[in-house]
Structure 1
Amino acid sequence: MRDRSTGHPRNAWYALAASAEVGSTPLGTRALGTPVVLYRAGDGSVVALGDRDAHRPYPLSLGHVDGDTIVSGYSGFAYDRTGACVRVPSQAQVPYGARVPSYPVVEEGDLVWVWLGEPSLAALRPPVSTPWLTDAGWDTFGGAWETAAGIGLLHDNFADITHVAVVDPVISPPALTGVAPALEVELTETTVHFHRDWPAAPLPEWQAKISGASTTASYPQREEGAFLAPGLWADRWDVFIPADEGGTQTFRFTHAVTPVDDHRTRHLWRVSRNFAPGAEASDVLRPIFESYYLKVREILETMQQVIDRDGYGEDVNVAADLAALQVRKILRRLVADEG
């Protein structure tokens, strides 16, 4: 059967961790099949190095941080933030050329972005800003886990929300139960933006309850989605409620995805809202969204198992797949451009 896999762009920013995960204790992770260790230096900035001691095949993440350096728990070799070995306990002279890879890092919002491609290109292509994740006007909660599925399956899922009503009728806005309006898609060389306007419909019961809005009135609604980079989706759902009834309610959904390898993807997700502020509402919403995302994860992992067993088939696509097909084209071109 036809193989639809394309590989993964390396010249891109990937969120390897949430800011809260990185501290003075080394954090080992993997991305694009590459072992990476993250830690905070003495000034609080994040350092990303190759997670393998230059002396022997032992993870640096099993060592400890000493100021700005990370020290191997086996050899005692110490490496600075550039990856250069600066100290060897058994001799005064450091072996010539002893070093580990060092990767550009940007901490933006509450995410730690790492560039694993050509280092000279990183400064020319800064990560996409996500100010709503830390802006006081938005309340945000989220989570992170690893999905046993290739990143392409996650991209396909984010590009089409018409599955929501089938996968989880509880979380689904009632508007999704009707025939989907036409999807409007806008393209650049590296991004896909899309939207559709849904006819007036009631709010989901859980949303009306936490916001105090009417459970019976119908309101126009808009879906917007954006593939902003190989490792980032940012979507939103607006419910246009008149100002005298509380004003427009907006959810923003942020998905930072990183290919661990061809069959596993790290997924950091965030749900932000501009209404019903406070921890009490977040505590009500978190299990609702977490339950949905876990259902999606199980479905995508099942898809990966089918592909691993039977290969890629010839999918039957519909109008709702337009954005997903464009994302696939962009990713294929980015990988091809890297040679």
Structure 2
Amino acid sequence: MRDRSAGCPRNAWYALAASAEVGSTPFGTRALDTPVVLFRVSDGSVVALGDRDAHRPYPLSLGHVDGDTIVSGYSGFAYDRTGACVRVPSQAQVPYGARVPSYPVREEGDLVWVWLGEPSLAERRPPVPVPWLTDASWETFGGQWETAAGVGLLHDNFGDITHVAVVDPVISPPVLAGVAPALEVELTETTVHFHRDWPAAPLPEWQAKISGASATASYPQREEGAFLAPGLWADRWDVVIPAEEGGTQTFRFTHAVTPVDDRHTRHIWRVSRNFAPGAEASDMLRPIFESYYLKVREILETMQQVIDRDGYGEDVNVAADLAALQVRKILRRLVADEG
């Protein structure tokens, strides 16, 4: 059967960890089938190196950080932030050329982004800003896990929210149960933006309860989504409520996806809102969204199992798939451009 997988470009920023996960203890992970170790040096900045000692095939993440170097737990070789070996315990002279790969790193929002492609391109293509993740005017919570499915399946899922009403009627805004208005899509060479305006409808019961808005009144609603980079989606849902009733309520959904390999994806998700401030509301919302994302994970993992067993089939696409199909085209072109 035909393989329609898009592949994964290397010349892109991927979120390998949340900022809180990276400290002076080595953090070992994988991305694009590449072992990477993350750690902080004395000035607080994050370093990303290949997670394999140059001396023998032993992970540097099983060693320790000493000041501005990471020391192998087997050989004792010490590597600086550039990946160069600067100390060998058994001799005074460091072997010529002893080093491990070093990767460009940026912290944006509360995420650690790493560039595994051509290093000279990284400075010209900075990570997409996600200021709402750390802006005090937005309340944010989230989670992360690894999904046993290729990243293309996650991209397809984020490109169409009409399935939400089927997967989880509890979390779904009631308006999603009706026929979806036409999806408006805007394209650049590397991004896909889309939106649709939904007719006035009531809020979900849980949102009305938490926000204090009317549970029976109908409000216009707007959906916006954006594929901003191979490793980043940023979506939002606006409920247009009159100012005298509290003003527009907005959710922002951030999805950082990193292909671990062709069948596994790291998914860091964040839910931000501009209403119902405080930890109490977040504690009420967290299990609602976590339950939904776990259901989606289970579905995507089932899809991957079907593909592994039976291959790719000829999918029947509908109008709601327009954005996802454009994302596939962009990813195929980015991969092709890398040769």
TM-score interval w.r.t. the shorter chain? over 0.9
- Tell me how far apart the structure 2 counterparts of residues 255 and 6 of structure 1 sit (CA, whole Å): 19
| Cα deviation code 1:63-115 (max 9, x no counterpart) | 00000100000000000000000000000000000000000000011000000
Cα-to-partner distance string for 1:42-62 (whole Å, 9 max, x where unaligned): 100000000000000000000
Using the alignment, how far apart are the partners of 2:186 and 2:51 within structure 1?
40
Provide the C-alpha distance between the structure 2 equivalents of 1:201 and 1:270, rounded to a whole number of angstroms. 25
Secondary structure at the aligned position of 1:169 is classed as: coil
Query: For residues 136-176 of structure 1, what are the alpha-carbon distances to aligned partners after superposition, in whole Å with 9 as ceiling and x for unaligned?
Result: 10000000100000000000000000000000000000010
Once residues 5 and 206 of structure 1 are traced to their aligned partners in structure 2, the CA distance between those partners, rounded to angstroms, is: 37
Find the counterpart in structure 2 of residue 103 from structure 1: 103
In structure 2, the partner of 1:89 is 89
Q: CA deviation at 1:260?
A: 0.1
RMSD over equivalenced CA pairs, Å: 0.3
Local SS of the residue matching 1:127: coil
**1:104-141: CA deviation from partner (whole Å, max 9, x where unpaired):** 00001100000000000000000000000000100000
Which residue number in structure 1 is paired with residue 135 of structure 2?
135
Give the whole-Å Cα distance in 2 for the aligned partners of 1:164 and 1:311.
26
Shift of 1:10: 0.1
Distance between the aligned counterparts of 2:321 and 2:210, measured in 1?
Answer: 32
Structure 2 residue runs of 5 or longer lacking an equivalent are none
For 1:278 and 1:63, the matched residues in 2 are separated by: 40
SS for the counterpart of 1:162 is coil
Mapped to 2, the partners of 1:325 and 1:3 lie a distance apart of: 15
Q: Secondary structure at the match of 2:163?
A: helix
2:208 partner SS = helix
> Structure 1 residue 307: deviation in Å?
0.1
Whole-Å separation in 2 of the counterparts to 1:99 and 1:187: 42
Give 1:247 shift. 0.1
Q: CA deviation at 1:5?
A: 1.7
User: What residue is the counterpart of 2:24 in the other structure?
Assistant: 24
| Correspondence for 2:249 | 249
Q: Which runs of 5+ in 1 are unaligned?
A: none
Find the aligned partners of 1:161 and 1:6 in 2 and give their Cα distance: 21
Q: How many Å separate the matches in 2 of 1:175 and 1:188?
A: 30
Q: Which residue of 2 aligns with 1:227?
A: 227
> 1:7 Cα shift?
2.0
Q: What secondary structure is seen at the aligned counterpart in 2 of 1:132?
A: helix
1:245-292 deviation digits (Å, cap 9, x = unpaired): 000000000000000000000000000000000000000000000000
Find the aligned partners of 1:137 and 1:181 in 2 and give their Cα distance.
31
SS at match of 1:180: coil
Whole-Å separation in 2 of the counterparts to 1:26 and 1:272 = 29
Question: Percent of pairs identical after alignment?
Answer: 92
Distance 1:216 1:330 in 2: 42
What CA distance in whole angstroms lies between the structure 2 residues aligned with 1:6 and 1:293? 23
Say whether residues 1:77 and 2:77 are aligned partners: yes
Which residue of structure 2 aligns with residue 67 of structure 1?
A: 67
For 2:188 and 2:4, the matched residues in 1 are separated by 23
Deviation per CA, 1:182-209: give whole Å up to 9, x if none. Answer: 0000000000000000000000000000
- Structure 2 counterpart SS, 1:308: helix
Structure 1: how far apart are the matches of 2:222 and 2:68? 48
Query: Hey, which bits of structure 1, 4+ residues long, moved more than 4 A?
Result: none
Distance in 2, Cα, partners of 1:323 & 1:189? 14
What displacement does 1:6 show?
Answer: 2.9
Q: Deviations over 1:196-226 (max 9, x none)?
A: 0000000000000010000000000000000
1:1-339 paired onto structure 2 within 5 Å: 1-339=1-339
SS in 1 for 2:2: coil
> Normalising by the residue count of structure 2, what TM-score does the alignment of the two structures yield?
1.00
Cα deviation for residue 9 of structure 1 reads: 0.1
Q: Give secondary structure in 2 for the equivalent of 1:217.
A: coil
